[in-house]
Amino acid sequence: MDTVLLFTGSIGIFAWGVAHIIPTPAIVRGFGPLSPDNRRIITMEWVAEGLALCFIGVLVFTAAARFGSDSQTAVFVGRFGAGMLLAMALLSALTGARTSILPMRLCPFVKSLAAVLFLIATL
C-alpha cells in the first residue's frame, strides 16, 4: 500500500508540474504588455515551479521504485519531498491562491494532497 501511495503522489505531482509548464506562454500573455525582462522573469519563475514539482515527483517515485517503499532512502526522500510540497503549498496559499484563477486556487490543495500521500506512506 505504501508503494501505491508514493507512486500515486509522485505521478500526480509530476502531472501537476507538467500542467504548470505547458500553458506558460499563455500565462505570460495574460499579464498583458510587459517589458522583455519582466516577461523573461515570469516565464522563468513559472517554468521553475513546474520543474520543481516534476523533480519532486520523479525523485520520490525513483527512490521508492529503486530501493523499495519501506527503505530508509524512500522514507527520507518521501518525507523531505512532502516538506517541500507543504512549503510550496503555503507559498501558493499566500500568493497565487488569493487570485480568481481556478488552477492557482487549486495549487495549495494539489501540493498538500501529494504531501499527505507521501507522509502517510512513510509512517
Which DSSP string corresponds to 37-56? HHHHHHHHHHHHHHHHHHHH
Terminal Cα distance for the chain, rounded:
12
**Rounded CA separation 58/62 (Å):** 6
Residue 102 has pLDDT above 90, yes or no: no
Residue 26 has pLDDT above 90, yes or no: yes
Residue 114 pLDDT: 98
Domain residue extents for the chain: 2-121
Stretch 94-107: mean pLDDT: 88
Stretch 70-98: mean pLDDT: 96
Residue 53: HSE in the Cβ half-sphere, 13 Å Cα cutoff: 29
